[in-house]
């Protein structure tokens, strides 16, 4: 009876690290957790803009109490210099801003995506002309164009749910904002054109319109969608900054930027007039940042 000898393995055993597994799990859960938190915060803001004006006993322009009353159970965000309830005005202003943001992002993304795809699928001359115009628009100070267009059409009155000055501001921002989408979409589309499925579709004789509709646009949707979330942050900052140059939504209609501007004159004695709407804008930005980071993480993970 012979004893079998076992030779020790030459492969060194890796000692488990106590941080490796939890860190991996955290890295896997973090994008989804951030996405859920961002969506929850955004949902709270959207629901508040819908239901607070409906359920509040005050309107956005009604005198609700004495001027510059501090936050209390009666007036959660206090009152402004005219005695209007800042809490109601913040959410009515948020509703106006979010409606404008939706129009800006949708309009810019549609125009920019179409121009970017056309440029990527056109002849070199057409592509060069479109992209030189796009680059010139991007390099020009955008706020000057926004201010000029918004001020020229500032006399446009209320249209549907939009107060005076809202639609000119939307048109002005779209007029410069689409160029960023064009640059992004063209680069992604040129990258996709070198893929095998686009080459196969071309060799099969598919038309350009079919290749764009069936192959390019579906593969561009995730990237454009992630950029739309980021652009929604930039759009609300631009909209909120327009009252500081005399453009945008005109008083007495509330808007996040005009609320903060009105409170800047009494910032030291009545901080809540400016700080409370500013906090809502900050939470809005955090929510969209979490959503955008999660989407970009999913795109990077899929690319690997």
Q: For residue 12, is pLDDT > 60?
A: no
Is the pLDDT reported for residue 165 higher than 60? yes
Domain 51-303: CATH class, spelled out: mainly alpha
Segment 218-265, tens digit of pLDDT: 888 888 998 999 999 999 998 988 888 878 888 888 999 999 988 888
> What is the DSSP secondary-structure string of the chain?
-PPPP-PPPSSPPPPPPTTHHHHHHHHHHHHHHHHHHHHHHHHHHHHHHHHHHHH-SS-SSSB-SSTTPPP-SSSTT-B-TTSBBHHHHHHHHHHHHHHHHHHHHHHHHHHHHHHHHHHHHS-HHHHHHHHHHHHHHHHS-HHHHHHHHHHHTTT---BTTB-TTHHHHHHHHHHHHHHHHHHHHHHHHHHHHTSHHHHHHHHTT--HHHHIIIIIHHHHHHHHHHHHHHHHHHHHHHHHHGGGGT-SSPTTS--HHHHHHHHGGGTTT-THHHHHHHHHHHHHHHHHHHHHHHHHHHHHHHH-
Higher pLDDT, 157 or 6: 157
Residue 106, pLDDT above cutoff 80: yes
pLDDT in the model for residue 104: 95
Query: Domain-by-domain residue ranges, the chain?
Result: 51-303
pLDDT score for 94: 93
Confidence band, pLDDT 50/70/90 cuts, at residue 154: low
Residue 288 has pLDDT above 70, yes or no: yes
What end-to-end distance do the CA atoms of the chain give, in Å? 55
Most confident of 162-176, 234-248, 278-292: 278-292
Determine contact, residues 270/263, Cβ cutoff 8 Å. yes
Where is average pLDDT lowest: 42-56, 61-75, 89-103, 198-212?
Answer: 198-212
Which position has the higher pLDDT, 281 or 148? Answer: 281
Q: What is the pLDDT of residue 96?
A: 92
Q: What is the DSSP letter of 265?
A: G
Q: Which residue has the higher pLDDT, 63 or 159?
A: 63
pTM, two decimals, is: 0.82
Q: Which residues pair with 63 in a beta bridge?
A: 84
Rounded to whole angstroms, the Cα distance separating 129 from 115 reads: 11
Task: Note the residue count of the chain.
Answer: 304
DSSP reduced 3-state for 63: strand
Question: Given this model, what pLDDT does residue 159 score?
Answer: 74
Cα→Cα distances 197→138, 146, 206, 301, Å: 32, 41, 12, 21
Mean pLDDT of the chain: 83
> Are 281 and 240 contacting, i.e. CB atoms less than 8 angstroms apart?
yes
Spacing of C-alpha 198 from chain mean position: 31
Distance from C-alpha of 167 to C-alpha of 162, rounded to nearest angstrom: 7
Q: How confident is the model at residue 30 (pLDDT cuts 50, 70, 90)?
A: low
Q: What is the reported pLDDT for 233?
A: 92
């Amino acid at each position: 009876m012979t004893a079998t000898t076992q030779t020790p393995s030459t492969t060194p055993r890796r000692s488990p690290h106590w941080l490796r597994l939890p860190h991996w799990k955290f890295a896997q859960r973090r994008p989804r957790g951030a996405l859920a938190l961002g969506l929850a915060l955004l949902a709270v803001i959207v629901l508040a803009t819908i239901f607070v004006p409906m359920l509040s006993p005050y309107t956005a322009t009604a005198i609700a109490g004495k001027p510059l009353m501090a936050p209390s159970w009666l007036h959660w965000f206090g009152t402004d210099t005219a005695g209007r309830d800042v809490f109601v005005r913040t959410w009515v202003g948020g509703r106006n801003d979010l409606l404008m943001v939706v129009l800006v992002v949708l309009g810019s993304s549609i125009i920019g995506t179409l121009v970017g795809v056309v440029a990527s699928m056109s002849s070199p001359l057409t592509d060069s002309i479109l992209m030189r115009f796009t680059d010139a628009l991007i390099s020009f100070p955008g706020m000057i164009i926004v201010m000029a267009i918004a001020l020229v059409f500032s006399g446009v009155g209320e249209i549907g749910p939009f107060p005076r000055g809202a639609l000119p501001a939307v048109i002005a921002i779209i007029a410069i904002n689409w160029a960023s989408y064009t640059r992004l979409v063209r680069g992604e589309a040129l990258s996709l054109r070198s893929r095998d499925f686009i080459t196969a579709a071309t060799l099969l004789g598919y038309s350009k319109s079919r290749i764009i509709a069936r192959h390019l646009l579906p593969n561009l949707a995730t990237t454009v969608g992630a950029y739309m979330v980021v652009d929604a942050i930039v759009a609300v900052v631009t909209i909120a900054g327009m009252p500081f140059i005399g453009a945008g939504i005109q008083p007495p209609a509330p808007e996040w930027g005009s609320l903060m501007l009105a409170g800047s004159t009494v910032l030291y004695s009545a901080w809540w007039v400016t700080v409370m709407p500013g906090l809502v804008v900050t939470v809005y930005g955090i929510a969209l940042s979490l959503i955008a980071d999660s989407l970009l993480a999913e795109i990077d993970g899929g690319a690997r």
